[in-house]
Amino acid sequence: MIVKHGMNSGFSSLASSAVLRRQQFLIRSLRGYSDHTHQKRMEGMKCFSGGASLEADSENVLRAIIPSLDPTRHKGQAGKIAVIGGCREYTGAPYFAAISALKIVEGAATVIKSYSPELIVHPILEESYSISNVDDEGRRYVSQKILAEFDKWMERFDCLVIGPGLGRDPFLLECVSKIMKHARQSNVPIVVDGDGLFLVTNSVDLVSGYPLAVLTPNVNEYKRLVQKVLGCDVNDQDTHGELLSLCKGIGGVTILRKGKCDLISDGEIVQSVGIYGSPRRCGGQGDILSGSVAVFLSWARQHMLATEGKPIISPKNPTVLGCIAASALLRKAASLAFEHKKRSTLTTDIIECLGQSLEAICPAA
């Protein structure tokens, strides 16, 4: 009986051990899952390494700066945005960027006009191929003519978007450089994206020290800016410090670093927008973003005037507010579009969801 008891005791011990091992395995698995989930959540909060971001209160920013629909106001009082972009090869980008757009590259105008009758298109820029037989004096005359034509409109603009689909034609970029200088003299905000960032990276003085300039680089454009301005490679271990240094290095411009989370800085603060958007990365979303930044930046400046420089929201910088609002709206629209279209989501689908996403945050009535 002692033996039997021993056998039973042994069996009980073995059984208990097996149960214990299964329990411990389950606990370890759950802990691992929990840790993994926690890690993913933290990644969602941080988005970039180098410290936790201060997540922007984007919905309150949107509600604060969007002007109310007032039946006493007339066309144009909500702002006028000029998009300087497009060339013979790239006609879609400026269309995506435009809400009320000025398009000024010859050869693309007819195509872009066909996209929407609501776009005002001025094909006044010239590319090198069209003046190949012109001497230096003739080129100067053409350049002066372009600037004179543009200056007639400059005072009407609330913001310029420089770069979507612009191309890298040397004469065209030379003319755009002069337009940017004129915009600075007129105190007109500038949002730079796409090929405009190629221009700025090679001529940082175009935006250096201009607090109304916003740059919206993707990962590769950001890398080139860091190398040009800071003289080093991107440091993923100190994303916030590096972004602050980059903004300061360019004299206090605002940078919206696009990524898993968008990081926004004016050299003084860093804010992030980590709203989940869409895993479908269709081309053209950056163009929507740059056009949206221009609109919200303009509205943020109007808000500053209306509140006599004492806005009811934070941060106080209208360029940062414009970036926060645009990033949040695009991400919400992309999420909504993906919910309906999944893998077949296109940029045009996201555009169609902008209004619905905005209405959900800030109802018109």
| 185 labelled binding-site residue | no
Residue 5 falls inside a structural domain: no
Residue 27 falls inside a structural domain: no
Residue 36 falls inside a structural domain: no
| 223 labelled binding-site residue | yes
CATH number, domain of 149, equals 3.40.1190.20
The rounded percent of the chain whose pLDDT value lies above 90 is: 47
**CA–CA separation, 50 and 235 (whole Å):** 9
| 258 labelled binding-site residue | yes
32 — pLDDT class (breaks 50, 70, 90): very low
Residue 102 β-bridge partners: 120
| 281 labelled binding-site residue | yes
Residue 243 falls inside a structural domain: yes
User: What is the secondary structure of 31-54 as a DSSP string?
Assistant: HHHHHHHHHHHHHHHHSSSSS--E
Q: Which of 53-57, 117-121, 187-191, 314-318 has the lowest mean pLDDT?
A: 117-121
The total domain count for the chain is 1
| 283 labelled binding-site residue | yes
Question: For residue 30, is pLDDT > 50?
Answer: no
Q: What confidence tens digit (pLDDT) does each residue in 244-272 have?
A: 999 999 999 999 999 999 999 999 999 99
| 277 labelled binding-site residue | yes
Task: Average the pLDDT over 101-113 and give the result.
Answer: 38
Dihedral-angle region of residue 177 (phi above 0 means left; psi in -120 to 50 means alpha; beta otherwise): alpha
| 222 labelled binding-site residue | yes
Residue 8 falls inside a structural domain: no
Q: What confidence score (pLDDT) does residue 212 get?
A: 98
Residue 210 falls inside a structural domain: yes
| 284 labelled binding-site residue | yes
If one compares 156 and 207, the residue with the highest pLDDT of the two is 207
**CA–CA separation, 271 and 321 (whole Å):** 10
Q: What confidence tens digit (pLDDT) does each residue in 284-325 have?
A: 899 999 999 999 999 999 999 888 867 778 888 999 999 999
Residue 268 falls inside a structural domain: yes
Please say whether the beta carbons of 286 and 243 come within 8 A. Answer: no
48 — pLDDT class (breaks 50, 70, 90): low
| 363 labelled binding-site residue | no
Q: Which of 32-41, 59-68, 319-328 has the lowest mean pLDDT?
A: 32-41
Mean pLDDT, the chain, integer: 80
Residue 25 falls inside a structural domain: no
Domain that holds residue 143: 54-360
